[in-house]
């Protein structure tokens, strides 16, 4: 089972997780990171690195975050791979603890 980036990443986009990924399965969008489920080897290295606790194993995904299985798979196909650490978004601290951010996800 792959790991999934969930709503907590929206408008934060910390990249600590991408740096530790041994298979480069993270993809970068404007205000969210996505994991390509076809590339993820379920090593779990990324999960503890996320400051917003946005990453879950698909087996442990909270019920209200299930839509992100499809969101990650779809967005990862069109976004570039990210391997290096970058600065989080300027809105990261403001949005780190916010809930209900789904409508803010920029997919283009």
Residue extents of the structural domains in the chain: 3-84
Mean of pLDDT over the chain: 97
CATH 3.30.70.20 correct for 3-84: yes
Among 39, 101, 108, smallest CA distance to 73 is for: 39
Per the rule left: phi > 0, alpha: psi between -120 and 50, beta: everything else, 44 is left
Distance CA 76, CA 83 (A): 14
* pTM for the model: 0.96
Q: How confident is the model at residue 108 (pLDDT cuts 50, 70, 90)?
A: confident
Dihedral angle sign, alpha carbons of residues 83, 32, 53, 87: positive
Distance CA 84, CA 108 (A): 21
């Amino acid at each position: 089972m792959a790991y999934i980036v969930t709503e907590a990443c929206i408008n934060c986009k910390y990249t600590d997780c991408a740096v530790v990924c041994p298979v480069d399965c993270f993809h970068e969008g404007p205000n969210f990171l996505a994991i390509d489920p076809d590339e993820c080897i379920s090593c779990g290295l990324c999960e503890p690195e996320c400051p917003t606790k946005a990453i879950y194993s698909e087996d442990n995904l909270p019920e209200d975050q299930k839509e992100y299985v499809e969101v990650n798979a779809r967005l990862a196909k069109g976004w570039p791979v990210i391997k290096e650490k970058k600065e989080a978004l300027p809105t990261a601290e403001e949005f780190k603890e916010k809930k209900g951010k789904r409508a803010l996800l920029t997919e283009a």
